[in-house]
Amino acid sequence: MILRAIDLRAGYRSGFRRVWRDVLQGVSFSVPRGSVTGYLGINGAGKTTTIKVVVGVNPASGGRVEVDGAPAGTPEAKRKLGYFPEAPSFYEGLSAAEVLDFFGGLAGLGRAERARRGDELLEAVQLSAARDLPVRGYSKGMRQRLGLAQALLHDPPLLVLDEPLDGLDPMGRLGLRELIARQRERGRTVFFSSHVLGDVEAICDHLVVLDGGRVAYEGPTSGLAVDPGGRTEVVVGPRPGADPGPGPGGDDDVRAALGDAVGPGGGPALERRSDGSLVVACPAPEVVDRVIDAARAAGRRVLEVQRRGAGLEEQFLRRFGQPAQAPTAAREADAAAGAAERAS
């Protein structure tokens, strides 16, 4: 595991009296080496708070975080990660090439190495044509790509990205999504938070979900994205020469065969479309193979096989869409703070 949080507790002070508020209530998780891990949760769940502890910006109030075995915040840990903040900020008068040269110097790279890495990364994030333009003229998508290039500059084994896809148009999201996915192919580990769950489902193989300041799910993406109550639909083509439209259309023979393939548990769950094709609902993966074999044996073409059911976004909203109740200790602390302010 390249990143581990053990009983992590962290928060912040807020209000006129700077009252301490716990956000993370004993968070523990592990990020597998070589994975693309999505860090999910509704607003206020503690994703950014966690990331700030991981990269050493904020201290933990309890527990610990380790980056490849080194305590978070130490020079050794910082050398092993590249950080993309939620809103990357640069000196507006510098060009992209100058920004990377500046950050490369901070990372301890020599002049020739900074120039080589800068050229490679500007090409990779599709900013070569704008390399000498001032950052003040960059769009949000261009700034996001430059931020990712900066995080990759010293070739770290771990990338920590806070909402890298936020606010981008579809083309911008697609480009950054592909770039993030390629990091796994190069042996890097990516740990990133995002609200764009379709993109998370497309590129992540591992998930950690926060709910109410605690880890509510940790495991493979498939464990949360797959709906156990879903089904697979097989679309079987019409009988050659049959007239489309309502009615059985001479499908009695294939209907019987497909019904037998589905089996008594599921029944012949068939629907005839206006073009004469048949939609067969298969309640289990093994039924799909039997239905396809039965359709081909009857001389019918299989036009489509598609999974129907809740994806990651629907499953996430179903399970975590409502804010969890704050732990009792946190609620009591808020009440005590409010009483103290009223008394004053």
What pLDDT digit, counting tens, does each position of 32-68 carry? 999 999 999 888 788 989 999 999 998 899 999 999 9
pLDDT interval class at 267 (50, 70, 90): very low
Mean pLDDT, range 139-157, rounded to an integer: 90
pTM for the full predicted model: 0.69
Which domains, from first to last, does the chain contain? 3-225 (3.40.50.300), 231-308 (3.30.70.3400)
Residue 81 in this model has a pLDDT that exceeds 90: yes
What pLDDT digit, counting tens, does each position of 286-342 carry? 778 888 888 888 888 888 877 665 567 777 777 776 544 444 444 344 444 344 433
Task: Identify each DSSP E strand in the chain by its residue range.
Answer: 3-14, 19-31, 36-40, 62-67, 70-71, 81-84, 158-162, 189-193, 206-211, 214-220, 231-236, 270-272, 278-282, 302-308
Structure tokens belonging to residue 33:
């080496």
Question: What confidence score (pLDDT) does residue 52 get?
Answer: 93
3-state secondary structure of 22: strand
- Longest CA–CA separation in the chain, Å: 87
3-state secondary structure of 184: helix
End-to-end CA distance of the chain: 50
Q: Is the dihedral of CA 330, 336, 339, 343 positive or negative?
A: negative
Question: What confidence score (pLDDT) does residue 230 get?
Answer: 61
Residue 266 in this model has a pLDDT that exceeds 50: no
Contact (Cβ atoms closer than 8 angstroms) between residue 84 and residue 148 = yes
Distance between CA 39 and CA 18 in Å, rounded?
28
Q: Which has more pLDDT, 74 or 279?
A: 74
Q: Percentage of the chain with pLDDT > 90?
A: 35
Question: What confidence score (pLDDT) does residue 153 get?
Answer: 92
**81-90, 168-177, 321-330: segment of lowest average pLDDT:** 321-330
Mean pLDDT, range 240-261, rounded to an integer: 65
Q: Percentage of the chain with pLDDT > 70?
A: 83
**Residue 258 corresponds to which amino acid?**
L
39: β partners: 193, 208
